[in-house]
Amino acid sequence: MGDAQRLTPDEQIALARQQFEDGTDFTVAVEEEFALLDPETLGLAPRFEELFSAAQATDLGEHVVGELISSEIEVRTGRCETFPEAAARVAERRAQLLALADAHGISLGSTGAHPWSPWQEQAIIDTPHYRRNDELLRYVVWRNNTFGLHVHVGIRGADRAVRVCDALRSYLPDLLALSASSPFVEDVYTHLHSTRTQIFTRMFPRCGVPDAFETWREYEEFVRFLYGTGSVTEHTQLWWSVRLHLAYPTVEVRICDAQPELAEARSLAALVYSLAARIARAIDEGEPIAIHPHRLIEENLWRAIRHGSSGELIALGTDRVRPAREALEELVEWVRPVAEELGAARYLAIPAANPAERQIARFEEGVSLREIYAEQVARTRDLAVEAARGT
């Protein structure tokens, strides 16, 4: 990405189009953002620079990056040719990061938001990229102490990638409902299942559900408009919840909360991957794919933010409302044939309760936020360690 970022906007856009035209279908990469924690208090700890420096002497070094604040780290699988390879890398990277963090007296959290650490106490990491975003966004970027899971799916063909991205918009609420893991922030039970999404997508510019573009030319015209008007200075400032990535020929889905449990992280990534592939196949075969208006998708997005998988979602294009879990089960069945073909089907699962529901249930039992978060941290660590041991 470094060389691409040194190109002019025109060169970047032209290169991106060519990369999509020459790209490979259904490669996959997964990125997970983790909170860095004091092991005694489980509060956010500004230890990124130390952990990143230590990682450079290990096999993990090229797979970790900073992500805004100094109490956060992102770990990446890198490009994988198949989903089973990506699933193995997610487990491997978690285990590597946990081992490194343990060695430096750091714990890791993996929910969409930290339940109590004040955003006012978090420092922005000192890199040119994040200094620019800090100067540009100020309070907006300070406030965004959130953690997500992103999935990149390779799609060959520039126009085809735009069409896949357009269609994925309608499923963002479903994916959020499944992944919601952040009901607590600032020592408050917010009664939202994904406080992360409310904070991030409602504050950042060019965020949330994008418009549909239909063709690469229309998408390119808008990106040129943003550069030409000085609205953006680099392509990563398009923070949409699904976007074409201009440094890789991938469609990137960014709607999901971070996942405490390894199995659910892999399952979520499998659904995103299979969904993108299923849509691409539908486009190839002439199967109708509805492109719904932004306003309708936003209605479902709010439902997912507020109630997660325990609420209801609108069957877009109708006035029918059904349980979110029913919608998710229908979605899994729709993608299953492609998932089986691509080796992702065995990872697909709809849990009885998503991470937010489980945390809320504990809160309603009278368990404190500290105890609930400690349980999530322990599950993140213990299940990754078990996977590393092959149990």
pLDDT in tens, 117-167: 999 999 999 888 888 888 888 998 899 899 999 999 999 999 999 999 999
What is the β-pairing status of strands 148-154 and 28-37?
antiparallel
pLDDT attached to residue 5: 52
Task: Compare 273 and 128 and report the one with higher pLDDT.
Answer: 273
Contacts of 345 (CB under 8 A, 6+ apart): 270, 274, 336, 339
pLDDT of residue 1: 38
Q: What does residue 239 show for φ and ψ, rounded to 5 degrees?
A: -95, 25
Q: Does the structure show a pLDDT above 70 at 266?
A: yes
pLDDT tens sequence across 305-328: 999 999 999 999 999 999 999 999
Instruction: Please determine, for residue 110, whether its predicted confidence score (pLDDT) is greater than 90.
Output: yes
Proportion of the chain above pLDDT 90, given as a percent: 89
What is the 3-state secondary structure of 47-61? CHHHHHHHHCCCCCH
Mean local confidence (pLDDT), 301-305: 98
- The third-level CATH classification (topology) of the domain covering 2-388 is Creatine Kinase; Chain A, domain 2 (3.30.590)
β-strands 239-240, 207-208 pairing: parallel
> Which residues, other chains included, contact 223 with Cβ-Cβ below 8 Å and sequence gap of 6+?
9, 13, 235, 238, 246
pLDDT band at 7 (very low <50, low <70, confident <90, very high): confident
Confidence check: pLDDT of 388 > 80: no
pLDDT at residue 188, rounded to an integer: 97
Model confidence pLDDT, tens digit, residues 18-49: 999 999 999 999 999 999 999 999 999 999 99
4 pLDDT more than 50: no
* Local confidence band at 102 (pLDDT 50, 70, 90 cut-offs): very high
Q: What amino acid is encoded at 5 in this protein? A: Q
Domain boundaries, the chain: 2-388
User: What is the pTM assigned to this prediction?
Assistant: 0.96
Q: Give, for 25, the enclosing helix (H) or strand (E).
A: none
The stretch 180-195 carries a mean pLDDT of: 98
What's the pLDDT at 132? 85
Q: What is the reported pLDDT for 128?
A: 82
Report the distance separating Cα 40 and Cα 57, nearest Å.
27
Residue 386 is predicted with a pLDDT of 80
Higher pLDDT: 214 or 390? It is 214
Split at pLDDT 50, 70, 90, the class of 218 is very high
Among 313, 239, 251, CA closest to 280: 251
The pLDDT tens digits for 320-366 are 999 999 999 999 999 999 999 999 999 999 999 999 999 999 999 99
Mean pLDDT of the chain: 95
Share of the chain above pLDDT 70, in %: 98
Q: From CA 79, how far away is CA 85, in angstroms rounded?
A: 9
Taking the C-alpha atoms of residue 24 and residue 225, their distance in angstroms, rounded to an integer, is 29
